[in-house]
Amino acid sequence: MLVLTQEDIKKAITMREAIDAVETAFAQHYLQRAAIPLRTRIHCTKSDGDVLFMPAYMQDLDGVGIKIVSVFPRNAASNKPTISAIMLLNDVTTGEPLALMDATYLTALRTGAASGAATRHLANQDAARAAIFGTGAQALRQLEAILEVRNLVEVMVFDIDPGRVGSFIDTCAKELSRFTFSLKQAADPDEAVRAADIIVTATTSRKPVFHGHDIKNGVHINGIGSYTPEMQELDALTVSRADKLVVDAYDASLKEAGDLIIPLEKGLITTSDIYCEIGKITSGQAPGRENKEEITLFKSVGIAAQDIAVAKIIYDHALAKGLGQQINLS
């Protein structure tokens, strides 16, 4: 079995390759070429954290495996990662384990890639300004993915802890130096979204992080932080204003996404307001953005197909490049 560290993974795959892989995963999910059970969530009450078990089988990619990911928001107070994960990839012919890899970076990578894919199809081509809510591991990869598909000139960053924004901007300057754009700290949510062509919410908030009346026509929004019925980054007005409301997985979104469940329960939107799954767009079965004034919203809870698709490429590339360490468990 091949063991791959975070550094191995960074050498094995680029963000653009991850975006293309996730687009394929979404398409295969929509076309029912994948087996993806709803994730199992175990809540750890003492620490208010979640451990998620996410298996999947991708028929056309010859990929099968499981990701185990933990989300512990309180870790931020002790300068520990709020998200940590491992990925086990199996041989589709024999069932034997092929690889065990760090999935903390993989999770941020594939989640960023999902927003990259959605932005590619749903944001205006000339989108130049973005707003990022949150400064954790997800936020950096979200920004990287958007920069891969749109030529941004300015990014406003907001976090409920202003002290984290400065270090986040410094990290972006180092890791995203191949792109030319400016990063600024927003004083409040209104300043962040007022001129934004693209908005990303990457938080674990249980209350909306900005007001729907502050967004402009033509904006594209990637809501990627909330993954339980109680979490809500987007208010009902934002969701109801969307001309195209797109989800990664219909069933999972209606069971897990508080951004949708809460306004649905209040009768502020209906399930018919959901335009389609993103895979219908990436497979060419439905159009993405159709005019410059549309407000588009991609709500993602994350599906295991993304992990398998990206992990399979990582594994194949790692073998070709001689990355990682082979171990024998027997």
Q: Which residues does the annotation mark as catalytic?
A: 67
Look at residues 11, 316, 192, 275 and name the one whose alpha carbon lies nearest to residue 201. Answer: 192
Give the E-state strand segments of the chain in sequence order: 2-4, 34-35, 40-44, 49-58, 63-71, 83-90, 97-102, 129-133, 154-158, 182-185, 198-201, 220-223, 244-247, 274-277, 296-299, 325-326
Look at residues 228, 250, 229, 313 and name the one whose alpha carbon lies nearest to residue 29. Answer: 250
| Residues in Cβ contact with 39 at an 8 Å cutoff, skipping those fewer than 6 apart | 52, 53, 54, 252, 256, 304
- Quickly tell me which residue has 């892989």 as its tokens: 21
Number of Cβ within a 10 Å radius of residue 32: 9
CA dihedral 296, 273, 229, 305 (to 10 degrees): -70
* C-alpha to C-alpha distance for 220 and 102, rounded to whole angstroms: 31
Cα-trace Rg, the chain? 19
Instruction: Tell me which amino acid residue 176 is.
Output: L
Look at residues 71, 98, 73, 65 and name the one whose alpha carbon lies nearest to residue 85. Answer: 71
For residues 292 and 127, the answer to whether their CB atoms sit within 8 Å is no
For residues 137 and 73, the answer to whether their CB atoms sit within 8 Å is no
- Quickly tell me which residue has 């099968």 as its tokens: 64
